[in-house]
């Protein structure tokens, strides 16, 4: 498991200088905890690998991995751009003080309202995902008398090695424009000819939680071929290529590859291309989500009931579950954990950590070795910073836990926990129900 910035003192687990047992007591559980220093270390690594010495390049943090105003403020302060995929994420970015020109809007089937919002704020890039969207965007821009800076998202038709639900680059995908010449080229022309669209280039994203750079490299080659085709057909050299995200992290035994492993060969490939084709000098953009925040997050739970089914399995139930982390149920995702209050005790018992949702599939960790858990213990689950909070729900009308940001021993709320009043605040009893 990722042990970055963790230490054990007097049997208690510390993370970024904070005693996690004390955090559980003070802020309550379940709780999402994020180390600002881990996020900042990832941002620094990205600057070094991709931005320093490459002034045109940009890193757009994929907000879908973890989105709240505090996170986007941190991303902004670290000099990143932000990639949003909904009106809600866009609104959060604006609320966090992100300059509009550093916001990039991705996603298939953006609604008319979302596109109007994006054009209204004058955001930096709109990554158009479909042919209809280009028409709709042009209409909105014309009505608003505002130009939009656009990339076209293509489906490169490569299959990355990851869970099927998070592989997006293969041809049979709901994302992106297929690469058949008679499909893509007329749209490039349309974008180039439009007085309301400033066509800048191409975008692809091959998948998520990747440890091998071959899918990225294959997709880049396909994109560069298309760039040449566009140049030959219309005399326009694309000015920007967005390579998406997808860089893998360590949940249990995986080995996170440094950003350089992915980025150096991609940048080298583009340099070679530019050397061979002097007209080209595109800016490169990446959209890391998981790799910026995943290992920065720890989730804290309190153990409640335990149940040993002799000869079958030992369960330890915690006060959270699939509503605060759907990933194990949805993807079979695996996590590692420790008891934060007994962190130096030998792990002598194999237990399955389950949540408290009314659902047998509400298992957070299957068969993990821990010191025999008992009621009141604090379970710390590692590498939970990506797609946990952001995919949380109110299933069983459970409240979404709060988020605490920690740094050098200091802990503060970044998102307050929901309350029962909050989750019923929008409920309405229709008049027709009260009339009888
Ligand atoms: N850019 C685009 C266009 C994307 O679709 C995604 C992720 C990213 C960037 C960021 O990818 P990352 O660096 O985080 O791998 N809920 C799933 C992951 C879904 C990813 C969707 N797109 C999970 O929990 O594993």
| 409 Cα to the center of ligand 1, angstroms | 30
Q: pLDDT confidence of 173, banded at 50, 70, 90?
A: confident
Tell me: pLDDT of 160 over 90: no
Minimum CA distance residue for ligand 1 atom 16: 387
Tokens at residue 183, please?
Answer: 């499909």
Bridge partners (DSSP) listed for residue 307: 315
Is any ligand 1 atom within 6 A of the Cβ of residue 208? yes
- The answer to whether residue 1 scores a pLDDT higher than 90 is no
Q: Is the CB of 244 under 6 A from ligand 1?
A: yes
Q: What is the pLDDT of residue 205?
A: 96
Q: For the chain, give the percent of residues with pLDDT over 90.
A: 94
Work out the pLDDT band at 169, boundaries 50, 70, 90: low
pLDDT at 227 over 70: yes
Bond from prior residue into 71 cis (ω within 30 degrees of 0): no
The answer, yes or no, to whether any atom of ligand 1 lies below 6 A from the CB of 166, is yes
Cβ(288) to ligand 1 under 6 A? yes
Determine contact, residues 84/103, Cβ cutoff 8 Å.
Answer: yes
pLDDT confidence tier of residue 164, bands split at 50, 70 and 90: low
Residue with CA nearest ligand 1 atom 21? 166
- The CA distance from 51 to 284, in Å, is 10
Q: Answer whether residue 241 shows pLDDT above 90.
A: yes
Catalytic residue among 18, 274, 354, 358: 358
Kindly state if the Cβ of 245 falls inside 6 Å of ligand 1: yes
Closest-lying ligand 1 atom to the alpha carbon of residue 107: 3
pLDDT beyond 70 at 168: no
Q: Which atom belonging to ligand 1 lies closest to the Cα atom of 246?
A: 15
Q: Are 57 and 47 in contact (CB under 8 A)?
A: no
Ordered by where they begin, the domains of the chain are 6-34+296-424 (2.40.37.10), 67-288 (3.20.20.10)
Task: Output the CA 326–ligand 1 centroid distance in Å.
Answer: 15
**pLDDT band for position 434 (cuts 50, 70, 90):** confident
pLDDT in tens, 394-420: 999 999 999 999 999 999 999 999 999
Is the CB of 388 inside a 6 Å radius of any atom of ligand 1? no
Nearest CA to ligand 1 atom 18: 166
The closest-lying atom of ligand 1 relative to the alpha carbon of residue 290 is 14
Contact 42 CB / ligand 1 (< 6 Å): no
Q: In angstroms, what is the span from residue 196 Cα to ligand 1's centroid?
A: 30
Per-residue confidence (pLDDT) for residue 165, from 0 to 100:
63
Report the pLDDT value the prediction gives residue 103, as an integer from 0 to 100: 98
Query: 3-class DSSP state for residue 313?
Result: strand
Nearest CA to ligand 1 atom 7: 208
What single string gives the DSSP state of each residue in 143-166?
HHT--EEEEEEB------SS-GGG
Interval 362-372 mean pLDDT: 98
For residue range 252-299, what is the model confidence (pLDDT) as tens digits? 999 999 999 999 999 999 999 999 999 999 999 999 999 999 999 999
pLDDT in tens, 102-143: 999 999 999 999 999 999 999 999 999 998 999 999 999 999
pLDDT in tens, 30-51: 999 999 999 999 999 999 999 9
Residue 170 has pLDDT above 90, yes or no: no
Cβ of 291 closer than 6 Å to ligand 1, yes or no, is yes
Higher pLDDT, residue 161 or 323: 323
Active site residue 141: no
Neighbours of 332 (CB within 10 A): 10
Ligand 1: which of 219, 245, 295, 324 to mutate, judged by most atoms within 8 Å of the beta carbon?
A: 245
For 67-93, what is the mean pLDDT?
A: 98
- Atom nearest to 288 CA in ligand 1: 13
Model confidence, pTM:
0.97
Instruction: Give pLDDT, residue 161.
Output: 72
pLDDT of residue 374: 98
Helix, strand, coil abundance in the chain, percent, nearest 5: 35, 25, 40
Contact call for residues 84 and 93 (beta carbons, < 8 A): yes
327 lines ligand 1 (CB under 6 A): yes
Mean pLDDT of the chain: 96
pLDDT at residue 197 in the model? 98
Residue 361's closest CA among 331, 392, 388, 390? 331
2-22 exposure pattern, b = at least 16 Cβ within 10 A, e = fewer: bebbbeeeeebbbbbebbbbe
The yes-or-no verdict on residue 345 having pLDDT over 90 is: yes
Residue 40 alpha carbon to ligand 1 centre in Å? 20
For ligand 1, mutation pick of 65, 208, 383 (most atoms within 8 Å of CB): 208
- pLDDT exceeds 80 at position 364: yes
The response to whether residue 65 sits with its C-beta less than 6 Å from ligand 1 reads: yes
In whole angstroms, give the CA distance from residue 80 to residue 71.
11
Distance 289 CA to ligand 1 centre (A): 6
């Amino acid at each position: 498991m990722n042990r970055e910035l963790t230490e054990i003192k007097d049997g208690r687990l510390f993370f970024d200088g904070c005693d996690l047992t004390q955090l559980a007591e003070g802020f309550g559980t379940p709780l999402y905890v994020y180390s600002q220093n881990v996020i900042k270390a990832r941002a620094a690594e990205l600057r070094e690998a991709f931005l320093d010495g490459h002034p045109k390049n940009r890193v757009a943090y994929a907000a879908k991995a973890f989105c709240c105003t505090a996170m986007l403020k941190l991303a902004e302060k670290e000099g990143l751009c932000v990639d949003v995929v909904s009106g809600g994420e866009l609104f959060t970015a604006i609320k966090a003080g992100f300059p509009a020109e550093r916001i990039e809007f991705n996603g298939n089937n953006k609604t008319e309202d979302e596109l109007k919002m994006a054009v209204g704020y004058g955001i930096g890039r709109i990554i158009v995902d479909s042919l209809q969207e280009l028409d709709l965007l042009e209409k909105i821009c014309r009505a608003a008398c505002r130009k939009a800076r656009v990339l076209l998202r293509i489906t490169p038709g490569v299959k990355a090695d990851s869970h099927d639900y998070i592989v997006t680059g293969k041809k049979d995908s709901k994302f992106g424009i297929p690469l058949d010449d008679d499909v893509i080229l007329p749209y490039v022309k349309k974008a180039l000819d439009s007085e309301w669209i400033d066509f800048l280039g191409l975008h692809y994203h091959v998948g998520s939680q990747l440890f091998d750079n071959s899918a990225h490299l294959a997709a880049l080659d396909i994109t560069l071929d298309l760039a040449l085709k566009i140049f030959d057909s219309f005399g326009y050299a694309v000015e920007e290529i967005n390579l998406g995200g997808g860089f893998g992290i360590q949940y249990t035994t995986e080995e996170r590859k440094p950003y350089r492993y992915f980025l150096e060969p991609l940048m080298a490939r583009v340099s070679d291309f530019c050397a061979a084709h002097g007209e080209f000098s595109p800016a490169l953009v990446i959209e890391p989500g998981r790799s910026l925040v995943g290992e920065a997050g720890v989730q804290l739970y309190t153990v409640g009931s335990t149940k040993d089914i002799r000869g079958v399995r030992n369960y330890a139930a915690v006060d959270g579950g699939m509503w605060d982390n759907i990933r194990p149920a949805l993807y079979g995702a695996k996590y590692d954990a420790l008891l934060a209050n007994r962190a130096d005790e030998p792990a002598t018992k194999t237990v399955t950590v389950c949540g408290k949702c009314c659902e047998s599939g509400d298992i957070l960790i299957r068969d993990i070795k821990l010191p025999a858990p008992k009621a009141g213990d604090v379970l710390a689950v590692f590498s939970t910073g990506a797609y946990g909070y952001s995919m949380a729900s109110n299933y069983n009308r459970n409240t979404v836990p709060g988020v605490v940001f920690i740094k050098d021993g200091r802990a503060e709320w970044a998102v307050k926990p929901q309350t029962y009043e909050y989750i019923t605040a929008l409920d309405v009893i229709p008049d027709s129900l009260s009339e009888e």
